[in-house]
Amino acid sequence: MAKVLIPLAHGFEEIEALTVVDILRRAEIDVVMAGLINVSVTGAHDITVHADTTIDMVNAADFDMIILPGGQPGTDNLNSDARVHALLHEFNAKQKTIAAICASPIVLAAAGLLTDRTATCYPTYSTRLTGAVYEDKPVVCDGNIITSKGPGTAISFGLEITSRLAGRDAADKISKSMLVPDSSVQDVWDQRLFNSTIQALVGALEMKDTYTQGHAKRVTEFSLSIGAKLNLSESEMRDLYLGAILHDIGKIGTEEDVLNKPESLSRREEIMVREHPLKGTLFIVGIENLSHIVPIILHHHEHWDGSGYPAHLKGEQIPLYARIVSVADAFDAMISNRSYRDGLDKDVAVSELIKKKDTQFDPFIVDVFIECLNDSPFEIKDFSYYF
């Protein structure tokens, strides 16, 4: 059974700490609350909690995860405690899961754990996430780091942690028993207008770039097949769908003669093409209900070894959905006819993916995709399937 450590400092946010404790214990996960000074700890709203032990009595080797609640002055008290920083470094060195909510992600940043990571926090603290890419979402997962925005997201935070430690089925079961509203159901997803806008954007790109005709849909199908293998939730599949279908939308800002040029590109033209992830990001970053998929569009040309673009991210620094789209995009590019070459045989394309594991592609995602190709093809009903 998983075992979790939650350090409690004077002035902690009671909702964030106790909600998580409640959810994890419902999942029969062993949770240990440890006071920084003694077992009696008073929160930011004068609620006193009797912790299980003190931080001096715990051994990091006994735990699978550490969770930092937010609140003030609780966060500052955590941040100023050398023992907390030592525990964070020890957990991170073992690639154990580390989670923080509200203001407390700044403690992770101060410990140097968020460099080139995607994270969230209470909005007024976003400028203190040194080295991180701030994402305005209730819960953000990046490798072994889980962050959340604040008291109102504590249930989502606790369920995400439960999913990580006990599996998605356990988290879903607890969510239903607690009558938690399905956060993936939003009015906008029921509106035909939103989906029609997505189709119009893709259609506009396909009119400009003859190569992209059908490319976006195929990349989406390949990406969703990987997502299904990874047992992504419906809301996660929807985000993957949006990122995959719009991954090349930035090419709308690239000259047609460059996109359809039959000869090799010049250095200038190559730079123009490489700008499309940035242009795509600028294209959608301000659009409500699309801005959260920016990391997929921005980073789908990053390479596992750090040689990609535009940010030269490496390994799990690259967002998961961007790694998925990268494999799907490259495979479809290889098997499709281009203006300057004929498409490759599928077996040859698969061999290329295998050859570039650990350099261009996430080796795990490549293996999952090959499994997908060997199974029955994953098909979406139409473009409105996830709306």
Instruction: Give pLDDT tens digits for 231-259.
Output: 988 888 888 988 998 888 887 766 555 55
Residue 196: is its pLDDT beyond 70?
no
Give the distance between the most distant pair of CA atoms in the chain: 72
Taking a C-beta distance cutoff of 8 angstroms, is the pair 36, 54 a contact? yes
* pLDDT, mean of residues 367-373: 93
Give domain status of residue 258, yes or no: yes
E strands, the chain, are 3-8, 30-35, 40-42, 48-50, 53-54, 65-68, 97-101, 118-119, 133-134, 139-142, 145-148
Among 177, 205, 231, which residue terminates a domain?
A: 177
Same domain, yes or no: 173 and 194: no
- Mean pLDDT score across all residues of the chain: 87
Give domain status of residue 152, yes or no: yes
Same domain, yes or no: 247 and 170: no
Among 177, 199, 231, which residue terminates a domain?
A: 177
CATH number at residue 19: 3.40.50.880
pLDDT at 194: 65
Same domain, yes or no: 284 and 310: yes
Same domain, yes or no: 111 and 259: no
Give domain status of residue 271, yes or no: yes
pLDDT at 202: 73
Residue 104: is its pLDDT beyond 80?
yes
Taking a C-beta distance cutoff of 8 angstroms, is the pair 119, 129 a contact? yes
One-letter amino acid of 296: I
Taking a C-beta distance cutoff of 8 angstroms, is the pair 158, 20 a contact? yes
Give domain status of residue 182, yes or no: no
The single residue listed with the structure tokens 């009595």 is 57
Residues 257-297 have pLDDT tens digits of: 555 555 666 777 677 777 888 888 888 877 767 778 999 99
Residue 188: is its pLDDT beyond 70?
no
Helix (H), strand (E) at residue 71: none
The CB-side HSE value for 41 (13 A sphere, CA atoms) comes to 32
pLDDT at 381: 42
Residues 315-354 have pLDDT tens digits of: 999 999 999 999 999 999 898 876 556 778 889 999 999 9
Same domain, yes or no: 68 and 205: no
Helix (H), strand (E) at residue 124: none
pLDDT at 227: 93
Structural domain count of the chain: 2
Give domain status of residue 233, yes or no: yes
Give domain status of residue 381, yes or no: no
CATH number at residue 286: 1.10.3210.10
Residues recognised as catalytic: 102
Same domain, yes or no: 217 and 345: yes
Residues 45-79 have pLDDT tens digits of: 999 999 999 999 999 999 999 999 999 999 999 99
Same domain, yes or no: 292 and 328: yes
Give me the domain span that covers residue 264: 187-374
pLDDT at 193: 57
Same domain, yes or no: 111 and 213: no
Same domain, yes or no: 199 and 303: yes
Among 125, 143, 177, which residue terminates a domain?
A: 177
Same domain, yes or no: 24 and 136: yes
Residues 132-152 have pLDDT tens digits of: 999 999 999 999 999 999 999
Give domain status of residue 51, yes or no: yes
Give domain status of residue 45, yes or no: yes
Same domain, yes or no: 281 and 312: yes
Same domain, yes or no: 240 and 322: yes
pLDDT at 192: 56
Residue 177: is its pLDDT beyond 70?
yes
